[in-house]
Amino acid sequence: MSAVLPGPRLSAAVQTALYWASPRRTVRRWQAAYGDVIGATVHPMGQVVFLCRAGDIKDLMRADPATFRAGAANAALGGSSSTFSLLTADGPQHTNARALLMPAFHGRAVRAQVEYMAEITDTNMATWPVGRPFALHRYTKEIALDVILRVVMGIGPDRLAEVRAAMLQLSRTESAVELALGSPVLARLLPYARRRERHLADSHRLLQEIIAAHRDDPALDQRVDALALLVGARGEDGKPLSDREIEEQLITLLVAGYETTAAGLAWTFEQLVRTPSVLAKAASAADTDDDEYLDALVKESLRLRTVVPDLSRMAMTDVEFAGHRIAAGSILTPCLDVVHESPSLFGDAGVLRPERFLEDKAANWLPFGGGIRRCLGATFALVEMRTVIKQMLRRFSFSATSAADERFVRRHITSEPGRGAMVTVQARAAVAAAR
């Protein structure tokens, strides 16, 4: 059992600067130099233990959640100490919130939304520029946001444009700099701070209005959206949840649900246009409703481009883990992307090859994490990605490109394509006529 973790011996300031300049490259360099368990010091997390071995990551996901807390770690990372949000809650508060929200994201509820997902994609595609290169990510964000607004808050077509604009505005004004500063006081000095506060106040007003409308809805018990579940819920004291609790939960669901799915969709096409043989198979699968192939494509895309590259757990006591002594307060960080890109686990790991998910069950496929904190929206996201990709491939032909892979850019917790997933599309009917 080693007491001192292998890792860089540079000053904390230099380690922090190296990490935030490029989390992806830095962890890989440290892994090459120090192995699969690395101790480093990175502000604002403090002592961080990066885990790069699939076995250790699975052990951590199965470990006692009271010893390794996800909520405490997420709160330390995001600078928030709210216990109302699913992401920052631990213990019974987390278990109760999960049980309450689960029905909105599972089985029947998800299947009921497929038609609507396809409809949203069709409406959005009507606005795409045809015949010239454009950044697809902008559009996948709109689609994913429209879908989640419906499922989370029951927003129908009449208010969609207004609510979507407010939410996009809000997420655009956030910045990785703020996250890295980890300080609301310093963040207030940033040049756009006043504009951000105005956007926050506007979206707060809008959310309060939507919550009030739900509370007054005589048909509340027939609604299936997450907000209806939250409004109908009673706490341990038998009282309804406060507007503040509901609002925090809503924002968590919106952010966790839309930026991730939008990035997953953008990466899928960024890779498809660079792999013409898979693009052709995927287009034919879309035409023939071959969901098995499309599901394999979605899984492979989430492997090759891991949208949430790492997770966080806080060690609540001094503890032995992965052959090392870990100090209380350390943040353990499973590096999911390192596992997904490992040749020893996936062979031709750098290649987009959906067939690998038709062949086996992929024991080391972890894009949604695992254990009691596994992504609440995993089933939902997989169905949404398959449905949206199918609609896109049915309507447009995507031109192949020999451009270099887009770089990985970190935004909040997600990894996104650096140029926004540049593509060029032609209407399928036009392509057929020109042949």
Q: How far apart are CA 261 and CA 18, in angstroms?
A: 28
Instruction: Reduce the DSSP state of residue 423 to 3 states and report it.
Output: strand
Q: Which is nearer to ligand HEM, 113 or 424 (CB)?
A: 113
Closest Cα to residue 339, out of 86, 60, 76? Answer: 60
Which of the residues 353 through 372 are near ligand HEM (CB under 6 A)? 367-369
86 is an interface residue for ligand HEM by CB under 6 A: yes
CA distances from 152 to 2, 158, 261, 307, 331 (A): 47, 16, 14, 21, 31
Closest chain position to ligand HEM (CB):
377
- From the list 45, 143, 211, 253, which residue makes contact with ligand HEM (rule: CB under 6 A)? 253
Q: How far apart are CA 138 and CA 33, in angstroms?
A: 38
| C-beta of residue 387 within 8 angstroms of C-beta of residue 414 | no
65 is an interface residue for ligand HEM by CB under 6 A: no
- From the list 251, 381, 389, 392, which residue makes contact with ligand HEM (rule: CB under 6 A)? 381
Instruction: Reduce the DSSP state of residue 69 to 3 states and report it.
Output: strand
- From the list 50, 139, 346, 380, which residue makes contact with ligand HEM (rule: CB under 6 A)? 380
Q: Tokens 């990510």 map to which residue?
A: 137
309 is an interface residue for ligand HEM by CB under 6 A: no
Minimum distance between the CB of residue 272 and ligand HEM, rounded to whole angstroms?
Answer: 16
- Decide the pairing of beta strands 134-135 and 414-417: unpaired
Q: Which is nearer to ligand HEM, 264 or 417 (CB)?
A: 264
Q: Which is nearer to ligand HEM, 109 or 400 (CB)?
A: 109
Interface with ligand HEM (CB under 6 A), residue total 25
Q: How far apart are CA 399 and CA 397, in angstroms?
A: 7
98 is an interface residue for ligand HEM by CB under 6 A: yes
CA angle at 253 for the pair 61 and 149, rounded to the nearest 5°: 145
Residue 132 burial (10 A CB sphere; 0-12, 13-18, 19+): exposed
| C-beta of residue 169 within 8 angstroms of C-beta of residue 198 | no
Backbone φ and ψ of 224, nearest 5°:
-115, 0
Which of the residues 273 through 302 are near ligand HEM (CB under 6 A)? 302
Stretch in the footprint of ligand HEM (CB under 6 A) among 47-55, 184-192, 250-258, 338-346: 250-258
Minimum distance between the CB of residue 1 and ligand HEM, rounded to whole angstroms?
Answer: 26
139 is an interface residue for ligand HEM by CB under 6 A: no
- From the list 18, 110, 227, 256, which residue makes contact with ligand HEM (rule: CB under 6 A)? 256
Stretch in the footprint of ligand HEM (CB under 6 A) among 50-58, 154-162, 282-290, 304-312: 304-312
Question: What are the tokens at 109?
Answer: 């509820």
Minimum distance between the CB of residue 194 and ligand HEM, rounded to whole angstroms?
Answer: 30
Which residues of this chain interact with ligand HEM, rule CB under 6 A?
70, 86-87, 98, 105, 252-253, 256-257, 260-261, 264, 302, 307-308, 311, 367-369, 373, 375-377, 380-381
